[in-house]
C-alpha cells in the first residue's frame, strides 16, 4: 500500500502575498484521487513533532524563538513566510510526516509526503520557505532510534540543499547528494558529500546522463538502508526560479530512474516534494503527480507479471 502523508495544515496559507504556490497541496491529492491513482485509504494524517524531536536537529535558541514567536524580523524575512504559530505547527507536522514516511517505507518499500523537502533550514535558522529541516530531523530520529544505520539523501531540487549539507556535515552515517543549478539560490553553497553543479539551461539528456552515471554508484558505495528522495519539480524549463531546461518527460524519467533504482536495490525510499514554481500551476501539479503515479506503478502494480 502506498502510504501518503497529508494534512489540512499543509495547505495553511499565510496572509502575505508571496511566490509560494500553496494551492499545489490541495490540487495534487485531488487530482490523484479523481483519476483513481489512489484512494482515501492511501492517506495518513501525520502527528506533530515533539520539542525533544526538534532538538535532535535544531538549536534550543532557534526553537525558543519559533515557539515564543520572537524570531527577529531580520531572521524571519529570509524564510519568506509570515511567522505565525500556525506556520510553526505546519512545519512540525510536515517534518514528522517525513519521519513517518520513512517508517512506512521500511514496511512497504516506499512512502510519500505531499510536502516536505525543507532543505534550506539550518540548525539555527530557516530560509527559502523552510522553517524546520524535515529530512534531517527524520534522519536523526531514525539513527537515534536504531531504525536506520546509513542514509542516502538524493536531493534533486534545483536549489542546493544547503541546510542538509550544513546539518549533516559531521554525520558520517548520512550521505548528502545534491544535484542543483550552479548559478541559482543559494548563492553561497555549502559542501555536501557530493554536489553536482548544473549549468543554466541543462537539458534532459545531460541531466539524466549525470544522474544515471552517479546514482547506481552511490547506492553501491554508500550502501544505505534508507533513501530520502527530494523530487522537486523546479528543474522544469517552465519553472520561474529553476533556470534549467528539463521537459515534463525528462522529469518523469528522472523520477522513474530514482524509484526503480531504490526498488531494485531493495532500499526503502521516503519521497519528499520540495519546490515547483512554474507559471502555470498545472505544470507543477502534473509533474508532482507523475512521481506518485510512478510510485504506484513501480512498487505496487502487480499486473505486469
Ligand atoms: Zn527548489
> Domain containing 82 — which CATH number?
3.40.800.20
For the stretch 248-290, pLDDT in tens is 999 999 999 999 999 999 999 999 999 999 999 999 999 999 9
What is the domain count for the chain? 1
| C-alpha cell, 99 | 519521519
302 CA distance to ligand 1 middle (Å) = 34
What's the pTM value of the predicted model, to 2 decimals?
0.96
Nearest residue to 226 (alpha-carbon basis) of 103, 132, 68: 103
Sign of the dihedral defined by the CA atoms of residues 160, 163, 164, 168, in that order: positive
pLDDT classification of 227: cutoffs 50, 70, 90: very high
94, 132 Cβ separation under 8 angstroms: yes
For the stretch 180-223, pLDDT in tens is 999 999 999 999 999 999 999 999 999 999 999 999 999 999 99
List helix spans (H) across the chain: 24-34, 51-54, 60-67, 73-76, 85-108, 134-144, 162-167, 204-222, 248-265, 281-300
158 CA distance to ligand 1 middle (Å) = 5
232 CA distance to ligand 1 middle (Å) = 6
Mean pLDDT of 97-118: 98
Q: Judge whether 304 lies within some domain.
A: no
275 CA distance to ligand 1 middle (Å) = 4
Strand order in the sheet with 151-155: 43-44, 3-5, 110-113, 269-272, 226-230, 151-155, 174-181, 194-198
Residue 18 domain boundaries? 3-299
Residue 305 has pLDDT above 50, yes or no: no
Mean pLDDT of 78-94: 94
31 CA distance to ligand 1 middle (Å) = 22
Residue 53 has pLDDT above 70, yes or no: yes
pLDDT at residue number 54:
98
Q: Judge whether 108 lies within some domain.
A: yes
Q: Judge whether 260 lies within some domain.
A: yes
Q: Judge whether 246 lies within some domain.
A: yes
233 CA distance to ligand 1 middle (Å) = 8
Q: Judge whether 305 lies within some domain.
A: no
157 CA distance to ligand 1 middle (Å) = 5
Task: Give the three-state DSSP class for 213.
Answer: helix
129 CA distance to ligand 1 middle (Å) = 10
Amino acid at each position: 500500500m502506498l502510504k501518503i502523508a497529508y494534512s489540512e495544515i499543509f495547505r495553511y496559507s499565510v496572509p502575505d502575498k508571496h511566490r509560494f504556490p500553496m494551492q499545489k497541496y490541495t490540487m495534487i491529492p485531488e487530482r490523484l484521487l479523481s483519476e483513481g491513482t489512489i484512494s482515501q485509504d492511501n492517506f495518513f494524517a501525520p502527528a506533530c513533532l515533539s520539542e525533544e524531536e526538534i532538538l535532535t536537529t535544531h538549536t534550543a535558541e532557534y526553537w525558543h524563538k519559533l515557539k515564543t514567536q520572537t524570531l527577529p524580523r531580520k531572521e524571519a524575512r529570509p524564510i519568506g513566510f509570515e511567522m505565525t504559530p500556525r506556520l510553526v505547527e505546519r512545519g512540525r507536522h510536515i517534518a514528522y510526516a517525513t519521519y513517518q514516511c520513512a517508517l512506512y517505507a521500511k514496511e512497504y518499500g516506499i512512502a510519500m509526503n505531499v510536502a516536505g523537502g525543507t532543505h534550506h533550514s539550518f540548525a539555527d535558522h530557516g530560509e527559502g520557505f523552510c522553517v524546520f529541516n524535515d529530512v534531517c530531523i527524520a534522519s536523526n530520529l531514525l539513527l537515534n532510534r536504531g531504525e536506520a544505520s546509513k542514509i542516502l539523501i538524493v536531493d534533486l531540487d534545483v536549489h542546493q540543499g544547503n541546510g542538509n549539507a550544513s546539518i549533516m556535515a559531521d554525520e558520517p552515517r548520512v550521505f548528502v547528494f545534491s544535484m542543483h543549478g550552479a548559478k541559482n539560490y543559494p548563492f553561497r553553497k555549502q559542501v555536501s558529500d557530493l554536489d553536482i553543479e548544473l549549468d543554466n539551461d541543462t537539458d534532459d539528456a545531460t541531466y539524466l546522463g549525470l544522474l544515471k552515471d552517479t546514482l547506481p554508484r552511490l547506492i553501491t558505495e554508500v550502501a544505505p538502508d534508507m533513501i530520502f528522495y527530494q523530487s522537486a519539480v523546479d528543474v522544469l524549463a517552465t519553472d520561474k526560479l529553476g533556470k534549467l531546461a528539463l521537459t515534463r518527460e525528462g522529469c518523469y524519467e528522472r523520477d522513474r530512474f530514482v524509484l526503480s533504482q531504490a526498488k531494485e536495490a531493495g532500499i526503502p525510499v521516503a519521497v519528499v516534494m520540495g519546490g515547483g514554481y512554474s507559471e502555470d500551476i498545472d505544470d507543477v501539479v502534473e509533474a508532482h503527480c507523475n512521481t506518485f503515479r510512478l510510485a504506484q506503478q513501480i512498487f505496487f502494480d502487480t499486473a505486469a507479471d
